[in-house]
Structure 1
Amino acid sequence: MNTLVIYTYPNHKSLNYAFLQKVIEGSKENPNIKELQVLDLYEEGFNPVLEFNEQKRRRDMYRDPALEKYRKQITWADKIVFVYPIWWGRPPAMLLGYIDQLFAANFAYKDKKGLLPDGLLKGKSVVCVSTMKGPTNYLLFWLNNAHKILMKRALFSFVGIKKVKFFEFGNMENTNGKQTKKLEKIYRYFKEVNS
């Protein structure tokens, strides 16, 4: 299984970076993971800003040469792992900008007659590892599960990815947030996952 990890946090001395390290550590010890690639969007200097004009049209995004490297990574991957914080109930703008540009028509999905398109990323799986300052159940009870609906239903299902796993860790700025236990949970998951 080829695994692509997309890390979206600007600080390498952070808890999010520690989660990234546990994903990598567990993946390297997993005999089911053949190859691992890590894309650090901030370190990469990824430009999340959409730009459309007479020369750069939205309908042509799927063949934008500046994004070819990233399209190849997604095509190559069997499993895509996202590691990011939840800010204001949703992923950071950097990650949303990546999604806006990479999950484009004629690459991630193809329009057809009817309500839903044909998802072109079928057969892949996704894991979202996210952290937040507030309590874990905040997203469920206060925001009606908006984060999971956004990621699973509005994005991944739309492009044909049906297998999606979430790890939403709350209270991460609390000194008693059980960070060590949560890091160990991520390590064990990636060490043992087989699809």
Structure 2
Amino acid sequence: YSGINTNNKRGITMKSTIILATNNEKSFSKEIVNKLIDILTQNKAQYEIIDLYKDNFNPVMTAKQEQLYTKGETDDELVKKYQKHLKESDEIILVFPLWFNNVPAILKGFFDKVFLKEFAFTEENNKPKGLLNNIKSGLVISTSESNSGYLTEELNNPIETVVVKGTLGVCGIENVEYINMNVENKDKYDLIEKYFGE
């Protein structure tokens, strides 16, 4: 899996949305996104980048937003913009550094504020039913200094459970691959080349 959906089957152009959650311009996560942009550009594919820090996205809900949340509504114009991008996407790509073996707070806030009821999911028989079925595939990339084996074997793969299954899966986004890119004692660009098939 190249991580990039550049198929143009039956005249249908695939559109990817990349969500970046790092404030460090020199980070491994940022390098990965730059690599993704290169691949997408070379393949003349459509893409949208949601850079949460550059957008000054506020992951914290106000009291009013919590009240609106129960109705599946928001007064955050940035959230409405993000929802529009997601509804127009065929593929979602998340890129972020691990913080305490989990997503950064800004990305958790993105999930909470953007994946609203009746937008990302509804309820049937007291269970969530995903509504983002327009997104046909996904790639979740975390970066860490921790060994990937430690994450999967000792911590039971928290991102796979919480993000891939518990968040994206609940919203109807299937065919999601998860990769943790461990930078320890390895050349960063070699890892990018390996995972993205260049």
TM class by shorter-chain length? 0.7 to 0.9
Aligned to 2:188: 179
- Following superposition, the deviation at residue 61 of structure 1 comes to 4.2
- Following superposition, the deviation at residue 10 of structure 1 comes to 0.4
- Following superposition, the deviation at residue 52 of structure 1 comes to 2.6
Aligned pairs (5 A) from 1:56-71: 56-66=67-77, 67-71=79-83
- Following superposition, the deviation at residue 166 of structure 1 comes to 1.3
Write out per-residue CA displacement over residues 64-101 of structure 1, whole angstroms, 9 at most, x where no aligned residue. 35221111011111101111011111110010100110
Alpha-carbon distance in 1 for matches of 2:66, 2:180: 40
Alpha-carbon distance in 2 for matches of 1:58, 1:152: 22
Contact 2:164 2:178 in 1 (8 A): no
Contact 2:143 2:180 in 1 (8 A): yes
Alpha-carbon distance in 1 for matches of 2:196, 2:38: 7
- Following superposition, the deviation at residue 3 of structure 1 comes to 0.8
SS of corresponding position for 2:124: coil
Alpha-carbon distance in 2 for matches of 1:87, 1:55: 25
Write out per-residue CA displacement over residues 129-168 of structure 1, whole angstroms, 9 at most, x where no aligned residue. 1100111111111211111100121111111111101121
Alpha-carbon distance in 1 for matches of 2:88, 2:108: 21
Aligned pairs (5 A) from 1:80-159: 80-114=92-126, 116-124=127-135, 125-159=137-171
Residue identity in the other structure for 1:178 = D
Higher RCO structure, 1 or 2 (CA under 8 Å, sep 6+):
1
Aligned to 1:40: 51
TM-score, normalised with respect to structure 1: 0.86
Question: RMSD of aligned C-alpha atoms?
Answer: 1.9
Q: Hey, which bits of structure 1, 4+ residues long, moved more than 6 A?
A: none
Between the two proteins, what is the percent identity of the paired residues? 27
Structure 1 portions without partners, runs of 5+? 190-195
SS of corresponding position for 1:88: coil
Q: Does 1:10 align with 2:10?
A: no
- Following superposition, the deviation at residue 185 of structure 1 comes to 2.6
Contact 1:23 1:186 in 2 (8 A): no
Residue identity in the other structure for 1:51 = T
